Structure 1
């Protein structure tokens, strides 16, 4: 009698643990990390150049660039390159609930763009927050951010 009760209890426990609801596949899993539609990022046709993780601040960033930027990054000469277009997107890290020990992008923090004029190579810088609102930085911060973005080394690319 005791073994029948134990068998029934174990069977019920196994069935109960094995029948939990999975997340729907058609629902966005990471909505906070999405870029604002107004930014129209996909139309820019930028490709990944590098990624950056700042463990101190708990952030992760991805640097994207156009073909001119990718060629300049590979040659190590991003400064004063006409036509270069770079976008650095930074997110707050959050733990991945589906994979123990790794982090994924969480809340979007900033979108920074650096562009150089096709003819004069004059560099312009813009910084946006998660609501696609332009942020105004003081000139010293702007210069340091431009220098930081332009000095990023590319990931190993084929």
Structure 2
């Protein structure tokens, strides 16, 4: 009797534990691209080249590139990307991580800057801002092009 009661209690405990909802903090969907808006492609699916954290602004930026830009970044640091290279500087607003004390994670995308090296070897700059990622204008495109194209690839083992 005592043994069957223990087994029944154990099974009930397993059922209660097994029916517990999973942790809702798994995937940070707010930090991903839900709608492309005016973007021609999803930059988060391209190759990550480097990343930067700006504590003063509470932002995180990751530079993504297509295969041409990625392979150029591996062999050269000159910032003169070849024709056909496409770079995306994706900037997120940061928030505190609820799972790890002292850590920060991306909250929402603040802006996406796109640079494409066209056939005449001139960089074409486009800025996408807001939740809908609509095409916008930057007051100093030349400075942003120079800044982004001169970012060096992160070294990893």
**Given the two structures, how large is their TM-score scaled by the length of structure 2?**
0.75
Worse-superposed segment, 67-76 or 93-102: 67-76
Matched residues in 1 for 2:68 and 2:106: separation? 27
2:33 aligns to what?
35
Query: Shift in Å at residue 45 of structure 1?
Result: 5.1
Please report the RMSD computed on the Cα atoms of aligned residues, expressed in angstroms.
2.5
Structure with more of its chain in helix, by fraction: 1
2:127 aligns to what?
127
Structure 2 matches for 1:28-67, cutoff 5 A? Answer: 29-38=27-36, 39=39, 40-41=41-42, 46-67=46-67
Query: Shift in Å at residue 29 of structure 1?
Result: 4.0
**Given the two structures, how large is their TM-score scaled by the length of structure 1?**
0.75
Q: Size of the alignment, in residue pairs?
A: 135
| Residue segments in structure 1 that go unaligned for 5+ positions in a row | 1-18
Seen in structure 2, the aligned counterparts of structure 1 residues 71 and 129 have a Cα distance that, compared at 3 Å, is same
Show structure 1 runs of 4+ deviating over 3 A.
Answer: 19-22
2:4 aligns to what?
none
Matched residues in 1 for 2:62 and 2:155: separation? 14
Seen in structure 2, the aligned counterparts of structure 1 residues 78 and 72 have a Cα distance that, compared at 3 Å, is farther
